[in-house]
Amino acid sequence: MGAIRFDNVGRIYGNKQDGFEALKGVELEIADKEFMAVVGPSGCGKTTCLRFVAGFDRPTSGMVSVDGVKVTKPGPDRAVVFQQFALMPWKTVRENIELGLRNKGVPRAERRERIDRILALMNLTGYADAFPHQLSGGMQQRVSIARAYVLDPEVLLMDEPFGALDAQTRVVMQEELVRLARRNPRTVMFITHAVEEAVYLADRVAIMARQPGRVKEIIDIRSIREAERWDDHEKIEDVMDLESFVHLRTQIWRSLRQEKAMEIA
């Protein structure tokens, strides 16, 4: 299980009367094992929404819950992949991935086995004893994803995880994430500002608007992906050439552009 629910969520910075209203009346439901991408202009509060689910921040009104239980603090049932990786520089790859398992009290032998398995899955075999600074950005982010996945969390929260990577690495990581997500489905909340990435990865895409931040529109991708058999294509560029993909991408772009236009006006 791992259904996420935003119930009339608001966030005001400063006092309630004349503070800055960052989020207002956010309604969003992410079903168990669903991959939800959240896109929106910068400043719309998408990262803040993710931080509510993670338990790092709290809304000033409304409620964020997972499986009907109100989120009050961070925990390993809701693993986070950060844009800047957030690996401990003084720990090796193995020690970084191991920390969460040790905290859960997983026995040593099982830890070893689970880490070896996740390292193989993430193409990191042979790097277990390397320190993060010895790895490229893409590999560091793979370690970060491995650290999250190894905990077998109900919910995966990804905050622009590929935002700090170069374009080629990004594509490889997107393909790998699709592979991982299809084989090992989890409830995923994926923040991005790259529309293509959202369409390629997600089951549904939530489009946010700003001032105040809110969910404006939700686009279903999954039914079209399945109808048009996107997963038969192994490479991301083949999927991106499909008419159905282009159509969805354009639809989302238009919706976002309206936001931009309103900003100027």
Partner 1 sequence: MSRKAVVGGATIFAALALWYVATSVTQMISPGRFPSPADTWAAFGQITGVGYANGVLIDHVLRSVTLVTLGFLVAICTGVPLGLWMGWSRKAEALINPVFLIIRPIPPLAWIPLAILWLGLGDMAKILVIWFAAFVPSVINAYAGVRNLDKTLIEAAQMLGTPFLTFVREILLPGASPMIFTGLRLSLQASWTTLVAAELVGAMTGLGRVLNAAQQDLYPGMILVGMIVVTLCGWLMTAALGVAERRALSWNTASQAGE
User: Which amino acid type is present at position 237?
Assistant: E
**Cβ 75 to partner 1 shortest distance, Å:** 6
Give the burial class of 265: count Cβ atoms within 10 A of its Cβ; 0-12 exposed, 13-18 middle, 19 or more buried. exposed
Please, which residue, 68 or 90, has the CB nearer to partner 1? 90
113-132: contacts with partner 1 (CB under 8 A): 131
Are the C-beta atoms of 210 and 259 separated by less than 8 Å? yes
- Looking at the Cβ atoms of 36 and 151, the one nearer to partner 1 is 151
Q: Are 128 and 91 in contact (CB under 8 A)?
A: no
Of 22 and 54, nearer to partner 1 (C-beta) is 54
| Smallest gap from residue 7 Cβ to partner 1 (A) | 23
**Whole-number minimum distance, CB 115 to partner 1, in Å?**
14
Tokens of 86: 């957030």
Using the rule CB under 8 A, which residue among 100, 138, 161, 213 binds partner 1? Answer: 100
CB 144 within 8 A of CB 161: yes
Token digits for 165? Answer: 């990577």
Instruction: Supply φ then ψ for residue 81, to 5 degrees.
Output: -110, 120
Minimum distance from residue 91 beta carbon to partner 1 (Å): 8
Q: According to CB under 8 A, which one of 13, 43, 70, 104 is a site residue for partner 1?
A: 104
Tell me the per-residue interface mask from 140 to 159 with partner 1, x by CB under 8 A, - otherwise: -------x---x--------
The candidate with the shortest Cα–Cα distance to 201, out of 30, 34, 32, 28, is 34
**Least distance (Å) from partner 1 to the CB of residue 155?**
11
Residue numbers 22-81 binding partner 1 by CB under 8 A: 54-56, 73-76, 78-80
Q: Judged by CB under 8 A, does residue 133 bind partner 1? A: yes
| Number of amino acids touching partner 1 (CB under 8 A) | 28
- Of 174, 176, 214, 177, nearest to 194 (Cα)? 174
Asked whether 83 and 159 are in contact (CB, 8 A), the reply is: yes
Do the beta carbons of residue 174 and residue 199 sit within 8 Å? Answer: no
Residue in 1, 70, 88, 184 binding partner 1, rule: CB under 8 A: 88
Tell me the window of 7-15, 16-24, 26-34, 88-96 that interacts with partner 1 (CB under 8 A): 88-96
Write the DSSP symbol of residue 148: H
Edge-to-edge strand order for the sheet containing 35-39? Answer: 78-81, 155-159, 187-191, 35-39, 204-209, 214-220
Rounded to the nearest whole angstrom, what is the least distance from the CB of residue 171 to partner 1 in the complex? 25
- Residue whose CB is less far from partner 1, 24 or 131: 131
Residue 122 structure tokens: 């993430």
Which residues are at the interface with partner 1 (CB under 8 A)?
54-56, 73-76, 78-80, 82, 84, 86-91, 99-100, 102-104, 131, 133-134, 147, 151
